[in-house]
Amino acid sequence: MTSHPEPQQPAPAAVDAYLSDLLAPADEALAAALSDSEAADLPSISVTATNGKLLHLLARIRGARRILEIGTLGGYSTIWLARALPADGSLITLEYSPRHAEVARANIARAGLDKVVEIRVGAALDSLPQVADEGHVFDLVFIDADKVNNPNYLDWAVRLTRPGSVIVVDNVVRDGRVIDAGSTQPDITGTRAALQFLADHPKLEATAIQTVGAKGYDGFAVAYVQE
Ligand code: SAH
Ligand code: DHB
Ligand code: MG
Protein backbone atom coordinates (compact mmCIF):
# COMPACT_ATOMS: atom_id res chain seq x y z
CA MET A 1 0.00 0.00 0.00
CA THR A 2 1.30 3.45 -0.90
CA SER A 3 1.50 5.80 2.07
CA HIS A 4 0.17 9.30 1.69
CA PRO A 5 1.73 11.51 4.35
CA GLU A 6 -0.47 14.34 5.62
CA PRO A 7 0.51 17.68 4.13
CA GLN A 8 2.38 19.81 6.64
CA GLN A 9 -0.05 22.03 8.62
CA PRO A 10 0.89 25.65 9.26
CA ALA A 11 1.62 26.36 12.94
CA PRO A 12 -1.28 27.96 14.86
CA ALA A 13 1.07 30.79 15.89
CA ALA A 14 1.72 31.61 12.21
CA VAL A 15 -2.01 31.69 11.51
CA ASP A 16 -2.53 33.88 14.60
CA ALA A 17 0.11 36.31 13.26
CA TYR A 18 -1.73 36.44 9.92
CA LEU A 19 -5.12 37.02 11.57
CA SER A 20 -3.90 39.60 14.07
CA ASP A 21 -1.95 41.58 11.43
CA LEU A 22 -5.13 41.67 9.38
CA LEU A 23 -7.85 42.17 12.02
CA ALA A 24 -6.22 43.24 15.29
CA PRO A 25 -3.09 45.18 14.27
CA ALA A 26 -1.08 46.80 17.04
CA ASP A 27 -0.97 50.57 17.18
CA GLU A 28 1.69 52.51 19.07
CA ALA A 29 -0.01 52.27 22.50
CA LEU A 30 -0.70 48.52 22.33
CA ALA A 31 2.80 47.73 21.02
CA ALA A 32 4.40 49.91 23.70
CA ALA A 33 2.26 48.30 26.42
CA LEU A 34 3.71 44.91 25.49
CA SER A 35 7.30 46.07 24.97
CA ASP A 36 7.38 48.05 28.23
CA SER A 37 5.83 45.09 30.10
CA GLU A 38 8.59 42.87 28.74
CA ALA A 39 11.27 45.48 29.54
CA ALA A 40 9.96 45.54 33.14
CA ASP A 41 10.22 41.72 33.29
CA LEU A 42 6.50 41.14 33.65
CA PRO A 43 5.46 37.61 32.62
CA SER A 44 4.48 37.30 28.96
CA ILE A 45 0.90 36.22 29.71
CA SER A 46 -1.26 39.03 28.32
CA VAL A 47 -4.12 37.95 26.11
CA THR A 48 -3.21 37.65 22.42
CA ALA A 49 -4.14 40.46 20.02
CA THR A 50 -6.98 38.44 18.49
CA ASN A 51 -8.34 37.65 21.97
CA GLY A 52 -7.93 41.28 23.03
CA LYS A 53 -9.93 42.31 19.97
CA LEU A 54 -12.62 39.79 20.92
CA LEU A 55 -12.89 41.31 24.42
CA HIS A 56 -13.16 44.73 22.77
CA LEU A 57 -15.91 43.54 20.43
CA LEU A 58 -17.85 41.77 23.20
CA ALA A 59 -17.85 45.02 25.17
CA ARG A 60 -19.08 46.97 22.15
CA ILE A 61 -21.71 44.38 21.23
CA ARG A 62 -22.97 44.57 24.82
CA GLY A 63 -22.87 48.39 24.72
CA ALA A 64 -20.83 48.22 27.92
CA ARG A 65 -20.47 51.45 29.92
CA ARG A 66 -18.99 49.91 33.07
CA ILE A 67 -16.33 47.20 32.92
CA LEU A 68 -14.59 45.29 35.73
CA GLU A 69 -11.30 43.48 35.11
CA ILE A 70 -9.68 41.16 37.65
CA GLY A 71 -5.94 40.81 36.85
CA THR A 72 -4.35 43.86 35.15
CA LEU A 73 -0.72 42.81 34.56
CA GLY A 74 0.70 45.54 32.25
CA GLY A 75 -2.72 46.78 31.13
CA TYR A 76 -2.75 45.25 27.65
CA SER A 77 -6.22 43.67 27.92
CA THR A 78 -7.30 46.77 29.88
CA ILE A 79 -6.50 48.97 26.86
CA TRP A 80 -8.46 46.71 24.48
CA LEU A 81 -11.46 46.77 26.83
CA ALA A 82 -11.34 50.47 27.77
CA ARG A 83 -11.24 51.47 24.09
CA ALA A 84 -14.67 49.89 23.71
CA LEU A 85 -16.23 52.34 26.18
CA PRO A 86 -18.29 55.41 25.30
CA ALA A 87 -17.03 58.85 26.40
CA ASP A 88 -18.76 58.57 29.79
CA GLY A 89 -17.74 54.92 30.36
CA SER A 90 -15.35 53.61 33.00
CA LEU A 91 -13.29 50.56 33.83
CA ILE A 92 -12.05 49.34 37.21
CA THR A 93 -9.16 46.88 37.11
CA LEU A 94 -7.86 44.95 40.15
CA GLU A 95 -4.19 44.01 40.46
CA TYR A 96 -2.31 42.38 43.33
CA SER A 97 1.21 43.43 42.38
CA PRO A 98 2.14 47.12 42.92
CA ARG A 99 4.92 46.64 40.37
CA HIS A 100 2.53 45.34 37.70
CA ALA A 101 0.11 48.16 38.52
CA GLU A 102 2.85 50.77 38.08
CA VAL A 103 3.73 49.43 34.62
CA ALA A 104 0.04 49.27 33.72
CA ARG A 105 -0.57 52.84 34.92
CA ALA A 106 2.08 54.18 32.51
CA ASN A 107 0.80 52.02 29.63
CA ILE A 108 -2.80 53.12 30.21
CA ALA A 109 -1.80 56.80 30.44
CA ARG A 110 0.14 56.56 27.16
CA ALA A 111 -2.99 55.10 25.57
CA GLY A 112 -4.88 58.21 26.76
CA LEU A 113 -7.14 56.13 29.00
CA ASP A 114 -6.06 57.29 32.47
CA LYS A 115 -9.32 59.25 32.92
CA VAL A 116 -11.37 56.15 32.07
CA VAL A 117 -9.42 53.43 33.91
CA GLU A 118 -9.01 53.09 37.66
CA ILE A 119 -6.45 50.56 38.92
CA ARG A 120 -6.99 49.25 42.47
CA VAL A 121 -3.94 47.60 43.97
CA GLY A 122 -4.34 44.63 46.31
CA ALA A 123 -5.70 41.11 46.39
CA ALA A 124 -8.89 41.20 44.33
CA LEU A 125 -10.86 39.45 47.07
CA ASP A 126 -9.91 42.32 49.41
CA SER A 127 -10.91 44.99 46.86
CA LEU A 128 -14.19 43.45 45.69
CA PRO A 129 -16.24 44.12 48.89
CA GLN A 130 -15.36 47.84 48.62
CA VAL A 131 -16.30 47.86 44.91
CA ALA A 132 -19.66 46.29 45.88
CA ASP A 133 -20.21 48.76 48.76
CA GLU A 134 -19.77 51.62 46.29
CA GLY A 135 -22.76 50.28 44.37
CA HIS A 136 -21.09 49.60 41.02
CA VAL A 137 -22.99 47.51 38.47
CA PHE A 138 -20.91 46.18 35.58
CA ASP A 139 -21.95 45.34 32.02
CA LEU A 140 -18.87 43.18 31.44
CA VAL A 141 -16.49 41.42 33.83
CA PHE A 142 -13.18 39.95 32.63
CA ILE A 143 -11.66 37.45 35.08
CA ASP A 144 -7.94 36.88 34.46
CA ALA A 145 -6.01 36.70 37.75
CA ASP A 146 -5.08 33.78 40.06
CA LYS A 147 -7.06 30.86 38.68
CA VAL A 148 -7.48 29.19 42.08
CA ASN A 149 -9.92 31.97 43.03
CA ASN A 150 -12.00 31.81 39.84
CA PRO A 151 -15.07 30.38 41.65
CA ASN A 152 -14.89 33.28 44.16
CA TYR A 153 -14.45 35.81 41.34
CA LEU A 154 -17.47 34.38 39.53
CA ASP A 155 -19.52 34.64 42.70
CA TRP A 156 -18.59 38.34 42.96
CA ALA A 157 -19.17 38.84 39.23
CA VAL A 158 -22.76 37.62 39.57
CA ARG A 159 -23.35 40.02 42.49
CA LEU A 160 -21.82 42.95 40.59
CA THR A 161 -23.67 42.51 37.28
CA ARG A 162 -27.29 42.58 36.08
CA PRO A 163 -29.36 40.67 33.52
CA GLY A 164 -27.75 41.19 30.11
CA SER A 165 -24.20 41.50 31.46
CA VAL A 166 -21.36 39.39 30.11
CA ILE A 167 -18.69 37.57 32.12
CA VAL A 168 -15.51 36.24 30.49
CA VAL A 169 -13.08 33.87 32.24
CA ASP A 170 -9.61 33.46 30.70
CA ASN A 171 -7.34 30.41 30.63
CA VAL A 172 -9.89 27.67 31.21
CA VAL A 173 -8.13 24.95 29.17
CA ARG A 174 -4.42 25.16 30.09
CA ASP A 175 -3.00 22.75 27.48
CA GLY A 176 -6.00 20.47 28.05
CA ARG A 177 -5.13 19.89 31.70
CA VAL A 178 -8.66 21.08 32.57
CA ILE A 179 -10.06 17.60 31.95
CA ASP A 180 -7.89 16.04 34.66
CA ALA A 181 -10.53 15.47 37.35
CA GLY A 182 -7.86 14.12 39.70
CA SER A 183 -5.58 17.14 39.40
CA THR A 184 -4.43 18.73 42.64
CA GLN A 185 -2.92 21.76 40.88
CA PRO A 186 -4.73 24.83 42.26
CA ASP A 187 -5.17 26.48 38.84
CA ILE A 188 -6.87 23.35 37.50
CA THR A 189 -9.06 22.68 40.54
CA GLY A 190 -10.01 26.39 40.55
CA THR A 191 -10.83 26.37 36.86
CA ARG A 192 -12.85 23.15 37.10
CA ALA A 193 -14.82 24.54 40.03
CA ALA A 194 -15.41 27.74 38.04
CA LEU A 195 -16.73 25.80 35.04
CA GLN A 196 -18.98 23.79 37.36
CA PHE A 197 -20.21 27.09 38.86
CA LEU A 198 -21.06 28.30 35.34
CA ALA A 199 -22.85 25.05 34.58
CA ASP A 200 -24.90 25.07 37.81
CA HIS A 201 -25.78 28.75 38.35
CA PRO A 202 -29.43 29.47 37.47
CA LYS A 203 -28.61 33.06 36.44
CA LEU A 204 -25.76 32.12 34.09
CA GLU A 205 -25.83 30.67 30.58
CA ALA A 206 -22.28 29.84 29.49
CA THR A 207 -19.99 28.17 27.03
CA ALA A 208 -16.23 27.62 26.76
CA ILE A 209 -14.04 27.78 23.67
CA GLN A 210 -10.64 26.18 23.15
CA THR A 211 -8.01 28.41 21.55
CA VAL A 212 -4.67 27.91 19.79
CA GLY A 213 -2.40 30.68 18.62
CA ALA A 214 0.48 32.89 19.70
CA LYS A 215 0.14 31.80 23.36
CA GLY A 216 -0.31 28.07 22.76
CA TYR A 217 -3.28 25.90 23.67
CA ASP A 218 -5.78 27.37 26.12
CA GLY A 219 -9.34 28.70 26.12
CA PHE A 220 -11.87 31.04 27.62
CA ALA A 221 -15.42 30.85 28.96
CA VAL A 222 -18.17 33.35 28.19
CA ALA A 223 -21.31 33.67 30.34
CA TYR A 224 -24.49 35.66 29.86
CA VAL A 225 -26.26 36.89 32.99
CA GLN A 226 -29.99 36.21 32.73
CA GLU A 227 -33.00 37.04 34.96
N1 SAH B 1 -5.40 40.59 31.94
C2 SAH B 1 -3.97 40.74 31.63
C3 SAH B 1 -3.18 39.55 32.11
C4 SAH B 1 -3.33 39.27 33.58
S5 SAH B 1 -2.08 38.13 34.18
C6 SAH B 1 -3.82 40.86 30.12
O7 SAH B 1 -4.38 40.00 29.42
O8 SAH B 1 -3.14 41.77 29.64
C9 SAH B 1 -2.68 37.86 35.81
C10 SAH B 1 -2.50 39.07 36.74
O11 SAH B 1 -3.25 38.78 37.91
C12 SAH B 1 -1.05 39.29 37.20
O13 SAH B 1 -0.65 40.62 37.00
C14 SAH B 1 -1.08 38.97 38.69
O15 SAH B 1 -0.21 39.77 39.48
C16 SAH B 1 -2.53 39.27 39.03
N17 SAH B 1 -3.01 38.59 40.24
C18 SAH B 1 -2.63 37.40 40.74
N19 SAH B 1 -3.28 37.13 41.88
C20 SAH B 1 -4.11 38.17 42.11
C21 SAH B 1 -5.04 38.51 43.12
N22 SAH B 1 -5.26 37.68 44.16
N23 SAH B 1 -5.71 39.67 43.04
C24 SAH B 1 -5.51 40.51 42.00
N25 SAH B 1 -4.63 40.26 41.01
C26 SAH B 1 -3.95 39.10 41.05
C1 DHB C 1 -1.05 32.49 33.35
C2 DHB C 1 -1.98 33.44 33.71
C3 DHB C 1 -2.75 34.05 32.75
O4 DHB C 1 -3.68 34.98 33.06
C5 DHB C 1 -2.57 33.74 31.42
O6 DHB C 1 -3.32 34.36 30.50
C7 DHB C 1 -1.65 32.80 31.05
C8 DHB C 1 -0.88 32.17 32.03
C9 DHB C 1 -0.21 31.83 34.36
O10 DHB C 1 -0.36 32.16 35.54
O11 DHB C 1 0.59 31.00 34.00
MG1 MG D 1 -5.07 35.17 31.05
Q: Determine the Cα–Cα distance for residues 172 and 188; give it in Å rounded to an integer.
A: 8
State the 10-residue block means of pLDDT for the chain, 227 residues long.
73 97 98 98 98 98 98 98 98 98 98 98 98 98 98 98 98 98 97 98 98 96 98
Residues with beta carbon inside 6 Å of ligand 1? Answer: 45-47, 71-73, 76-77, 94-97, 100, 123-124, 144-146
Count the domains in the chain: 1
Q: Determine the Cα–Cα distance for residues 61 and 63; give it in Å rounded to an integer.
A: 5
Does residue 95's CB lie within 6 angstroms of at least one atom of ligand 2?
Answer: no
- pLDDT score for 2: 59
Q: Determine the Cα–Cα distance for residues 200 and 186; give it in Å rounded to an integer.
A: 21
Within a domain: residue 37? no
CATH code of the domain covering residue 210? 3.40.50.150
Within a domain: residue 76? yes
Within a domain: residue 6? no
Q: Determine the Cα–Cα distance for residues 42 and 138; give it in Å rounded to an integer.
A: 28
- pLDDT score for 3: 63
Q: Determine the Cα–Cα distance for residues 79 and 58; give it in Å rounded to an integer.
A: 14
Residue 19: count of CB within 10 angstroms of its CB? 16
Rounded to the nearest whole angstrom, what is the distance from the C-alpha of residue 171 to the centroid of ligand 3?
5
Within a domain: residue 139? yes
Within a domain: residue 195? yes
Within a domain: residue 146? yes
Element (H, E) at 107: helix 98-110
List, in order, residues 6 or more apart from 26 with CB less than 8 Å away: 20, 34, 49
Does residue 144's CB lie within 6 angstroms of at least one atom of ligand 2?
Answer: yes
Residue-range definition of the domain harbouring residue 126 = 46-225
Within a domain: residue 7? no
- pLDDT score for 1: 52
Within a domain: residue 31? no
The pTM score is: 0.97
